[in-house]
C-alpha cells in the first residue's frame, strides 16, 4: 500500500479490522474504488451518494471532446 499511496491514491475508507474499503485519487475529477456494494442500497428515486456524485461529475464533462489516441 505504501507505493500506491506514494502514487497519489488515498485510502479513505478502512474497516474496523484494517481492510481497505474505499480508495480515491484526489488529483482525478472523479476516481473512486470501493470494496462494498453501494448498488444494494440504491434505487432509481434515491441513489446512493456514490452514484449521485458520479452522475454530477459526468454531467460536468458533457460536451468535452476526448483527445484522439493513435492506433485506437
pLDDT reported for residue 1: 64
Q: Is 67 part of any domain?
A: no
Q: Give pLDDT tens digits along the chain (72 positions).
A: 666 778 889 999 999 999 999 999 999 889 999 998 988 988 888 989 998 999 898 898 888 887 888 886
Count up the domains in the chain and report the number.
1
pLDDT reported for residue 16: 95
Q: Is 13 part of any domain?
A: yes
Q: Is 53 part of any domain?
A: yes
b/e sequence 28-60, b meaning 16+ C-beta within 10 Å: eeeebeeeeeeeeeeeeeebeebeeeeeeeeee
Q: Is 51 part of any domain?
A: yes
Domain range spanning residue 33? 2-60
Amino acid at each position: 500500500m505504501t507505493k500506491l499511496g506514494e502514487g497519489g491514491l488515498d485510502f479513505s475508507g478502512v474497516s474496523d479490522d484494517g481492510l481497505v474499503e474505499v480508495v480515491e485519487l484526489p488529483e482525478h475529477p472523479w476516481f473512486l474504488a470501493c470494496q462494498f456494494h453501494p448498488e444494494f442500497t440504491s434505487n432509481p428515486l434515491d441513489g446512493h451518494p456514490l452514484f449521485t456524485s458520479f452522475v454530477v461529475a459526468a454531467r460536468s464533462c458533457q460536451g468535452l471532446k476526448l483527445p484522439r489516441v493513435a492506433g485506437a
